C-alpha cells in the first residue's frame, strides 16, 4: 500500500473512531499548540529571519502573536462553539426540535503558502483542531527553516494520531 494512502486511512480511522470529537481532546490539542508557540518563540523568530528576513518584531506581530491569539480565542470559546444552536420553528415544525448541530468534516488538508508560513499554517490548524478534525499539513517548499521546525518540533506537542505533516503530496 502507498504510504500516503496508509496515512490517510489511519487518520480517517482515528476520526471515525470518535477520537477527535470530545471537547477535552480538542482543548488538549489547542493547549499543546499554544505551548509550542510559547516555548519555541525564539526558534521560530530565527527561522523566519533566515527564510524571509523578518525582524523579531515583525515575526512576533505578523506570525507568532496572531497564531497565539487564535489559540487563546479557540480555547475560550470552544464549548460555546460546540453547542447546538436552536433555531426558530415554523407552524409545520412546532412539535419538533429544530437546531443546528456543528459536526467536524473529518479529514482536512492545509496547504501553507511561503509568505506567512507560520501564521497561514497555524491559524487554519487552530480552526481545524477546534472543530474536531484530523489534519494533513502541507508546508511551503520555499520557507524551509520554518517547515523544518514545524515538521520536527510541532509533532512533540500534538497527538500524532490526528495530525500528519506531509512533505510531498
pLDDT over 80 at 1, yes or no: no
The pLDDT of residue 165 is: 66
Question: What cell was used for 136?
Answer: 494533513
153 and 36 in contact (C-beta within 8 Å)?
yes
The closest alpha carbon to 101, from 87, 89, 117, 84, belongs to 84
CA distance 6 to 22: 25
Q: Name the average pLDDT for the chain.
A: 92
CA distance 14 to 102: 19
The pLDDT of residue 162 is: 81
* Domain-wise residue ranges, the chain: 3-166
**Phi, psi angles (nearest 5°) of residue 111:** -105, 120
pLDDT over 60 at 93, yes or no: yes
pLDDT over 90 at 95, yes or no: no
- Determine what percent of the chain is predicted with pLDDT higher than 90: 77
List pLDDT tens digits, range 137-163.
Answer: 988 889 999 999 998 999 999 998 887
| pLDDT band, residue 166 (cuts 50/70/90) | low
Q: Which residues of 78-87 are buried (b: 16+ CB within 10 A; e: fewer)?
A: beeebeeeee
The pLDDT of residue 161 is: 83
Between the alpha carbon of residue 93 and those of residues 47, 90, 101, 111, the distances in Å are: 57, 5, 17, 42
Question: What cell was used for 131?
Answer: 472543530
- Determine what percent of the chain is predicted with pLDDT higher than 70: 96
List pLDDT tens digits, range 12-55.
Answer: 999 999 999 999 999 999 999 999 999 999 999 999 999 999 99
pLDDT over 80 at 123, yes or no: yes
Specify the pTM: 0.91
The closest alpha carbon to 40, from 158, 160, 149, belongs to 149
pLDDT over 60 at 169, yes or no: no
Please name the fold of domain 3-166: Aldehyde Dehydrogenase; Chain A, domain 1 (3.40.605)
Amino acid at each position: 500500500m502507498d504510504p500516503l494512502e496508509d496515512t490517510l486511512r489511519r487518520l480517517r480511522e482515528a476520526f471515525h473512531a470518535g477520537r477527535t470529537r470530545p471537547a477535552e481532546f480538542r482543548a488538549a490539542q489547542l493547549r499543546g499548540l499554544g505551548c509550542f508557540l510559547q516555548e519555541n518563540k525564539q526558534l521560530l523568530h530565527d527561522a523566519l529571519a533566515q527564510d524571509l528576513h523578518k525582524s523579531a518584531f515583525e515575526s512576533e506581530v505578523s506570525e507568532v502573536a496572531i497564531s497565539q491569539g487564535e489559540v487563546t480565542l479557540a480555547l475560550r470559546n470552544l464549548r460555546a462553539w460546540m453547542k447546538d444552536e436552536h433555531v426558530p420553528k415554523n407552524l409545520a415544525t412546532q412539535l419538533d426540535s429544530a437546531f443546528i448541530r456543528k459536526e467536524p468534516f473529518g479529514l482536512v488538508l492545509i496547504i501553507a503558502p511561503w509568505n506567512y508560513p507560520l501564521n497561514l499554517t497555524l491559524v487554519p490548524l487552530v480552526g481545524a483542531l477546534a472543530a474536531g478534525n484530523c489534519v494533513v499539513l502541507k508546508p511551503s517548499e520555499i520557507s524551509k527553516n520554518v517547515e523544518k521546525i514545524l515538521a520536527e518540533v510541532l509533532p512533540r506537542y500534538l497527538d500524532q494520531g490526528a495530525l500528519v505533516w506531509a512533505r510531498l503530496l
